[in-house]
Structure formats: C-alpha cells, structure tokens
Structure 1
C-alpha cells in the first residue's frame, strides 16, 4: 500500500483524533524518560519492548475502540535508542464475527531511534482491528491509529442518546485554548482517571475572559439535556458555563470566524461545582430545532472532564446498527425519555434529571453531605464534629418566613410516611403547590426498624418544581424534574411551586419543616396554594377532600373559590359551575388567609406524563 511520510510539524493539520490505542502502547501522555531505572527484566521503558534475537517478527493485534476508516498512523520510538524496532508494518481488518485476523505480510517500513514516525495513507474501508508487526524485535513506545469514526446510532428516531459522543460521530472542531488538556477529551467514553484526560485551559488574568469549545454533533439533533462533568477538577472547575447551538447546511465546514454564525442560547449562564456531574434541561422553546454544532463556553477559565448532549436525531440518514457502547449506554439510560408514538397534540417533555445543587439553585437548596469535602459547593464551611467522627456542613440552607405579624404562625415539623409509586417510566402530575410565606425543607429519615420498619425501603424520590410568575401563578415554562437520592434533602425557596413528593422506589418517611397557623387549639396549614388537575374531589363537611375514583365528582371547566372567615378558623368554600364538563383543566384553590372576595382563575393544562410531566404548548393561563 502507498504511504506518505508526514513531518512532525504538520501533524495537527494532517490527523484528527485517535480511533483506538492498544494496552501498553495506548497511553495518551508523551513517553517519559525512565533512564537509570531498572526492573526485574532490565532497564525500564515506557512502551512495548520484546526480547532479543527473534528470527521473524513480533506482533500485537489491537481492537479499535469502534469501527472506522483509517487515514494514518503514528509509530513512536521515543527513548528507545539502540533497542528500537528497526522496521514495522501495519495491517487492518474488518471482522463482524470476531474471528482471529488472517492476513499476509506486507512490506515493512524503516523506523529510527527515539522518534515519532507519522504515516498518511489513502482512507481505508471500515476496519475494527489493526495488527502491528515489529521486525525483528525491539521496542516501540506508542502506537496510534488515526481516522474517522463510523457513527453508532440507536435504531429509532425517538430514541435518545449522547449525540456528541465520539462513538456517535461527534467531533471537537474548534477550541480557544488547551494549555493543560485537549478539547477532544470532552466527548470520550467514561469519566477518565485524573485531570489529564479532560479539557483544561490556562489561568486568565483579564476581566471578562472566557474559554470555549465547538462540538460537531454526530448527526443533526433535537437536544433535550446537557451533562457537564467536572470530575477531578476540584479547585480549577469553571465558575459557570453556557451553551449555544447553531445549524449548518450538510457537509458545510465551520467558517474561520465563528462570530458570523447565528448562535442560539440553549443553556443560560449557570454556575458549576467541583468534581461532579451536572445535569441541565435545555431551553424548551428550542426543543424542536435541529442543531449541528454546540459551543460550550466556560467563565472565566478552568477545566471540564466530559460534555454529554442528550437528544434524538432529527432525521434518519443511513442507518447504522446499534451497539452497546459500554459505559456510555449506562450513563445516559436514566436520562432517556420513553419512546412513544407522535402525540396527537404538541406537548413538551420534562426529563427527570439527577439532583445537583447547581441545577436546583433557581428553586432552592440541596441538603447533602459529601464524602470528598472538595466536592462540596464553593463557600461551604466544613468542620469536624462529634470528636472527629463526623463532618459538619454548615448552614446549607437558612429558614425563611414572611408571615404577617397577626398571622400567629409558628414553625413546625411533620413526618410523611410514603408508599412508593408503582414501577413505571411515566407518571401523571396533577398537583402543584407553593407556600407564599416560608421556605420548606424535606429530608429523608431512613428505613426505621422494629414494628415501624418499612417493608421495602428504597433510595430515591421525585422532585418537580416551577418558578412563580409576577401574577403568582406557576411558570410552566420553567417546570423541571429531578431524581433525589436518599442521601439528599432539599429546601424549596419561598413561593416556589412544587409537586407533592413521590417516591420512585419505596423510601423512608420524609421530614417536612414548614409553618402552621393555630385554629381551635390545633395546627393547620395556612399558606398552601395548590394547583390541581386530573383528580377526583368530593365534598365533605363544607371542605375539599381527596375522594378517589369512587368519590363524588366536582369537575368543571372553571371553579370559583373563596375563603370565608369562621369563628373557629378558616374554611374553603367551592362554587361548582356544572354547565361545563371536565376539560383537562388545572384548578387552583387556596387555604389560609384570603379576602372573602378573592377569586382564583383556571389554568388549562393536560398533565399527560412522559417520563415526568408534559403540557400543551398552545395553552396559556387565563382568568375566568
């Protein structure tokens, strides 16, 4: 086969990223000198070295990380001087059966001591094995194979996956700085082993600085979720990140200047934390827009380990058989939405994301201890406690109350003993509530024991939240869902809308810190504003109760609610307009201090759930 010697200074312009590397030859760092160091078998070298006096050749077979076409090689004999392999040859094979390669001996090429040898070849057919031969023996420090990945896609267009992953054909095409770590590391499999296999830039010294990287997706995609991983970056993670996307015509290359492109923000500037995976739902208003490139910008500088862009392909293209991407498939499985037929009406899906302090920050705080103190959010004060047997994470959240002085409210603690939701991938969301005068803390308590033990204690619960609009109603466009573990408590900010907690797996009781109002010597909630949807409600003693499917039905398109002050406390009253059937409306009511003339509107919504919850995009809150 014809080949071309490539000067080392032309390396970056001739070759892209590596397709695969082999065991002792595959280390990503440059070979270090081990001169003067000896082991049981003699002098030590960073590389592959064989015994002397081989009459033919030594060889190794390398299975590439994924199938691809080959365009060149790097055979590096750095620090092998006098014991370098004097000649080498490379063979390639595509095998769908996994059978051992059976190939002939091509002509060998000459190698020199302590040098990198770069070779470019015409682009090959798809291969997944290469065989390196060294004549007759000696040492080779590094061996790399360069080429293009054959993308691996799931079979269906509704399947979600990491479209930026290197195995899906993703590529890092432009980067502002890679002083300590290259940008192409961001789309590699797994989470790496240290900071060296991530992307890290040099320290900036000027105000307003940022660093960025542009990732080309493996196929035009509809993006839903971004994962920003700062694993191993504990004191040098970026202060914040933002994501922008653009769409280029097929086969169009990035222009020399990126500022002329039409970039659309899909993730606003959001703070990051040390040494963890951050999951963010991307801008829902652009959920139906197919993108080809994503620009990741970090402020002001720092390091990221991986970037995952979860979504689905916008079109089919040439199908490629799905393959198990080892860790990559497992990493994104929990984020994938349920495959379903196209909906009859437009709707937006809200995925369930793992709970992190940064993603939950717009709604409240996460209460959590950290085994690695370096992974705690910036500014967290940590001190030893209990004679050194414990660590105290100080004031992860503060109590807040804004009750009127005459409300006679006081702090209280309740316990919820909850049953788990039945196993499913989707659940309906029918209730949102907020507490206008206090924040709320929810903390898992454990599985108990003895007679009070939970039959099937578990490890996760569902958190659904939304911001409040200026008129006090929930901002459904901000609706987010998180999966919290049994090791995480949460604190909702004052007036943040939330759903009643659901246990994804059977869990312990959940402790609730909130405010109460005294009525008839007892305690009752005073500031809970609820939004209710597809549920059955009955009339009991002049108030509302959950009657279940068999109860009296009080559904209507509009329900006017008011509060009447009674001598013994406060009570809800309900005026049901029976002229309207139930039309998938969400109805609001309030319990607590309200003027008797207060009227609350209706908020049309179809809470048909796919993964967490979804709603009709063409319906907006209105007053009756």
Structure 2
C-alpha cells in the first residue's frame, strides 16, 4: 500500500447515522446486491417480463438469472506504470469489531470512529458474505471525492471509461474524501456490496457478537503497484463518528 496521506480535520465534528443498505441510496458509490425478489421461487417464474435486472429463466427452468446486478471495472489500462491489472479473488475473514458505546437520552448506541478511508482507483471491489447469519451484519462507510488539490496531485486515477461502457455513476476523480458527504450503511449477510472504482470507503467493519467473524469472498483487479492498487488517507484524533441504530439497555438484559 502507498504511503497514507494525513488529513487535518480543522475542528470538524461530525456524527453520521448508519441506515439500512438499499440499492438506490448506495448507487452513487457502487452497487448493493441482494435477491430482488426473495419470495419468488424459480418454479413460479414462468413469465419474467418486467422483472428486475432483465431477469430470465435459466438452468433448464430451475433458476432465475438476474443479469448485471453489479458492474465490475478494470481501468488499469490507464495506470501510469503500464502494468496490466489481473483478476484477483481473496477471502477476508473479518472479526466483529468491539465498538465503543455512548449513552444518549437513556438509549445506548454503538459508535464507530472513522479514522481511515481507502480507495482502489483503477478497479471495483466486491465483498460477498459467505454465510447468511441473522446475528451478523457489517458496516459500509463511503464518501464522495472533493475537487482535486495540491495535496492529492501525486495520486494516479483514471480519467475516463472506455467508449460504450455502461455505468451507473461518474468516476469520482482524483480528490481526497469529502467527509461532509460521508454516508454509512448497515448491511446484512444476505447482501453483497461492490465499491465502484475510486470510491473512498472504510476497511471492512464486521458487526455482531465478539466471538463471531464474517467470511467474505472478495473480487477485484490489481497490478501490484501499491499507489495504483490502493490509496489511503488517515485522520488525526477522529471527530468523524458513525452512530449505529439505538439499543436500549433493557434489550441487553
């Protein structure tokens, strides 16, 4: 990983409430992926006209195929090093974070201090939980980019997509994260998430009981040039906090 950039927050004091992950709300940052019709059994899908994602019947009538539920991007042809990006698949086993708690008007809430964001400028990155567990969730923290500045002028980013590319969003550009636009989402393990190329995001934050972990299949491209694969920014003593859904003290008894 390239040397992180340190950002001075200059007195910024922010609290962002995490909300459930939904496809439309996440579109500016990437793709939220889940079964769009979980109550529809393939045996009942005789007519797919009008179904989401141009669905079709597949596998001799035993499956519904929802098409292009997430856009995977490889933009390494624009990397300054000239090194080709190749497909990489990994497994991340992420331990549940022990989050601090804050008591607010008799209600206890978990909080997550945001101290680091990263991005992969030339590739999308997809996290797929490998087990559905109603006790397990994960936190997705993302931010848009500021306009370019002298502080980020050494960071390489792609300038455009290939002609004819179908995309749900514009490339975010070279700038550092715009913390005032930071968003936070709670995802279930029935949902996968794709961070769009160049999207600032927190490293994965698994939630749940302290002795639990979530396994993720992770797919992206990489060329092993650190500043082209991953760029990172650090914030000093954090004054940017994500607040999770309230949990009353009585519910813990």
TM-score class normalised by the smaller sequence: 0.5 to 0.7
Cα deviation, residue 396, structure 1: 0.7
Correspondence list, 1:71-220, <5 A: none
- Cα deviations by residue, 1:449-492 (Å, 9 ceiling, x for unpaired): xxxxxxx9843100000011221111111100000010110111
Q: Corresponding residue for 1:48? A: none
Q: C-alpha deviations, 1:526-565, integer Å up to 9, x for none? A: 421111235xxxxxxxxxxxxxxxxxxxxxxxxxxxxxxx
State whether structure 2 residue 191 is matched by structure 1 residue 488: yes
Structure 1 residues 346, 469: closer, same or farther in 2, change over 3 A? closer
Give the 3 Å change call, closer, same or farther, for CA 490–428 of structure 1 in structure 2: same
1:378 and 1:431 map into 2 onto residues whose CA distance is 39
Aligned residue for 1:397, secondary structure, equals coil
- Other-structure match for 2:57: 384
Between the two structures, name the one with larger relative contact order (CA 8 Å, sep ≥ 6): 2
1:192-223: per-residue Cα shift (whole Å, max 9, x none)?
Answer: xxxxxxxxxxxxxxxxxxxxxxxxxxxxxxxx
Unaligned runs of 5+ in 2: 1-10, 102-109, 149-174, 245-253
Aligned twin of 2:230:
528
C-alpha spacing 1:346/1:608, structure 2 compared with 1 (3 Å): closer
Question: Bigger radius of gyration, 1 or 2?
Answer: 1
- Could you say which residue in structure 2 is the equivalent of 1:509? 215
User: Displacement, 1:346?
Assistant: 7.1
The match for 1:500 is 203
The residue that corresponds to 1:420 in the other structure is 96
Distance 2:187 2:26 in 1: 11
2:145 is the counterpart of 1:459: no
CA RMSD after TM alignment: 2.8
Q: Distance in 1 between matches of 2:196 and 2:32?
A: 11
* Residues 461, 507 of structure 1: 8 Å contact kept: no
- 1:470 matched to 2:143? The reply is no
3-state SS of paired residue (1:371): coil
Extract structure 1 runs of 4+ deviating beyond 4 A: none
Q: Label 1:459 to 1:387 Cα distance change in 2 as closer, same or farther (>3 A).
A: farther
Q: CA deviation at 1:387?
A: 3.8
Deviation by residue 1:121-174 (Cα, 9 ceiling, x = unmatched) = xxxxxxxxxxxxxxxxxxxxxxxxxxxxxxxxxxxxxxxxxxxxxxxxxxxxxx
Question: Which residue number in structure 1 is paired with residue 24 of structure 2?
Answer: 358
1:610–1:470: structure 2 CA closer, same or farther, 3 Å change rule? closer
Match of 1:468, SS state, is coil
CA shift in 2, pair 1:489/1:430, >3 Å: same
Matched, 1:607 2:222: no
Which segments of 5 or more consecutive residues in structure 1 lack a partner in the other structure? 1-344, 448-455, 535-583, 585-605, 613-624
Whole-angstrom distance in 2 between the partners of 1:434 and 1:394: 26
> What is the SS of the residue equivalent to 2:25?
helix
For residues 21 and 224 of structure 2, the distance between their equivalents in structure 1, rounded to whole angstroms, comes to 35
Whole-Å separation in 2 of the counterparts to 1:517 and 1:436: 12
| Aligned mates of 1:525, 1:507 — CA distance in 2 | 29
Q: Look up the match of 1:435.
A: 120
Change in 2 beyond 3 A, CA 1:382/1:372: farther
Distance 1:384 1:459 in 2: 31
Question: How many angstroms does 1:347 deviate by?
Answer: 2.8
TM-score by length of 2: 0.64
TM-score (norm 1): 0.27
Q: Secondary structure at the match of 1:477?
A: helix
User: What is the deviation of 1:367?
Assistant: 1.2
Work out the CA distance in 1 between the residues paired with 2:242 and 2:230: 27
- Give the SS at the match of 2:144: strand
